[in-house]
Amino acid sequence: MKLRNIAIIAHVDHGKTTLVDKLLQQSGAFRENQRVAERVMDSGDIEKERGITILAKATSVVWGDTRINIVDTPGHADFGGEVERILNMVDGAIVLVDAAEGPMPQTKFVVSKALKIGLRPIVAVNKVDRPDGRPQEVINEVFDLFAALDATDEQLDFPILYGSGRDGWMALTPEGPKDQGLDPLFNLVLEHVPPAKVEEGGFRMLGTLLEANPFLGRIITGRISSGTVKPNQAIKVIDREGNLVEQGRISKILAFRGIERQPIELGEAGDIVSIAGLTKGTVADTFCAPEVNEPILAQPIDPPTVTMSFLVNDSPLAGTEGDKVTSRMIRDRLFREAEGNVTLKIEESGDKDSFFVSGRGELQLAILIETMRREGFELAVSRPRVVFSRDEDGNLLEPIEEVVIDVDEEFSGSVVQKMSERRAEMIEMRPSGGNRQRLLFHAPTRGLIGYQSELLTDTRGTAIMNRLFHAYAPYRGEIPGRRNGVLISNDQGEAVAYALWNLEDRGPMMIEPGWKVYTGMIVGEHNRENDLEVNVLKGKKLTNIRTTSKDEAVRLTPPIRMTLERSLAWIQDDELVEVTPKSIRLRKIHLDPNERKRAERSKESVG
């Protein structure tokens, strides 16, 4: 059967996964009466809850006499490592662009990688039925973007389709016709995307995606570059330098057929398959026949920009909610994650009780923490810090990000002011339709940690911020952090409503009556700059004297809800987030007040 391999590239929320749903439906991958979940490719619980794609996934459809392998890619820059790897597996790309928003930073990031390896893109303008849609201007912006990314003349001569992924149609003009469904897109893929590349020689495949299966063990997905492969065939694994990693036999070969993976008896060159049976081979390794010694070159991966400390949870409430609490369990889980996720870097500390985990952004690390807590882990994590670098002369360099903020005109002034406080440099400001402004900044990564929630507060939830790693540049100086101190519990027990009610004028609370607290735990935000120790266990003194004044029920202001992302952005360097399967608590690193004072004094003497 003829083969085509394509990737669908787009910014977050531009409709990739919804389009894949319709491609599967209209190609007959589902039965007439089959019940299928919306966004069927987002299979993980967190992906379904948040409505975002985190892991790249492959599927395949049959159109006429051709099998089309489709790879759905994530839209967030934090998961860009997934995209960089899967581009090795495909021969063409559909660049999906929102008819109103136009090409956004993440589109630019992935398209630059795709153009660099020579893929010829198809541009599909999605959501043309939006009232604020401007398809013609968006096409001009896409052309300018391709030109700025040094596209070749052949790549600049891209075919264009307009349509709506949700309604399941594509056409050569924004007006339609709409009755042909996605046929124009399928036909364009067959015409425009070259057949799968096949090389001469024995079996070779570059490992691209890794997963653990409870029945089959490690499963590696990739595209076969040359030769064929059968179950029970002897193969070897070599790393990027050509050194032998392991030898073994393939127990099973699986291929994508619709949304299911089915065992096949023969994997042929050009097809995307998954193989099981090996125990050590991982991403970026070459899986090949015993006589082959030349590895396949893997695309270089951009370096991590943010790092966090993962520590064993040593609070008084440790082990009461989770069953995986030891440093050995946390270590094994982190190293297992780093095997399949090439953008993560794990380092052990000297005392073996904490680990430095580096990644692309806070969202990527927050998703990892969220996944671990759902698996039953308890751990404490520090505030995200940026990964600094040095040039040849020894000068300090820091990661700078390209930030695009779409905001209503009335709020643009406060956004510009806040960004300048965070050492951001404004590059461009232009109207983006509907009384909105598009602001482009180059800002240090450390200045953006925690800005998302502040931006939404400043703009009444109307701003959209998109970020993308730009370059390393000279250190831009100090950035002011959180201005308020915290309220710290001075005892262990259960919080009492009467005590919380008496403390309300000190600042907003983060806990509710009946919650367990301990010495050194953060229970609220102080109105002033200093930290304050408070007693949240103090009940009302009872007497046997009746009074005429009614004892009214205590009415409390609802507490601040601290989500995981908000907590990571809010804490300071001397604080930690305690994460368990049921709770997220904030605490000081040193729970004992005397130890805190000693640490503060030693810090001042060093400073």
Name the CA dihedral angle for 160, 165, 169, 170, rounded to a multiple of 10 degrees.
0
Q: Hey, how many other C-beta atoms are within 10 angstroms of the C-beta on 453?
A: 13
Report d(CA 157, CA 166) in Å as an integer. 27
- The crossing angle, in degrees rounded to 10, of helices 105-116 and 135-148 is 50
Annotated binding residue at 129?
A: yes
DSSP H or E stretch at residue 337: helix 327-340
**Amino acid letter for position 3:** L
Annotated binding residue at 11?
A: no
List of residues 6+ apart from 583 with CB closer than 8 A: 321
Annotated binding residue at 279?
A: no
List of residues 6+ apart from 45 with CB closer than 8 A: 374
Give the chain's largest Cα–Cα span.
Answer: 97
Annotated binding residue at 597?
A: no
Positive/negative CA dihedral, 355, 358, 363, 367: negative
DSSP state of 557: P
Helix (H, G, I), strand (E, B) or coil at 109: helix
**Amino acid letter for position 590:** H
DSSP string, 127-196: -TTSTT--HHHHHHHHHHHHHHTT--HHHHS--EEEEETTTTEEESBTTB--TTTTHHHHHHHHHHSPPP
CA neighbours closer than 13 Å in the CB half-sphere of residue 50: 16
Annotated binding residue at 590?
A: no
Measured CA distances, 407 to 415, 420, 464 (Å): 8, 16, 7
Tallying the residues shown for the chain, one arrives at: 607
Residue found under tokens 């670098």: 389
Report d(CA 328, CA 345) in Å as an integer. 17
3-state secondary structure 226-259: ECEECCCCEEEEECCCCCEEEEEECCEEEEEEEC
Q: Which of 566, 489, 568 has its CA nearest to residue 521?
A: 489
Annotated binding residue at 128?
A: yes
Q: Which of 267, 256, 318, 210 has its CA nearest to residue 23?
A: 256
The angle at the Cα of 346, spanning 206 to 58, to the nearest 5 degrees, equals 35
Report the DSSP pairing between strands 379-381 and 306-311.
antiparallel
Annotated binding residue at 15?
A: yes
- The crossing angle, in degrees rounded to 10, of helices 327-340 and 362-374 is 130
Report d(CA 259, CA 208) in Å as an integer. 19
Annotated binding residue at 126?
A: yes
Annotated binding residue at 110?
A: no
Which residues does the annotation place in the binding site for GTP?
13-18, 126-129
Which residues does the annotation place in the binding site?
13-18, 126-129
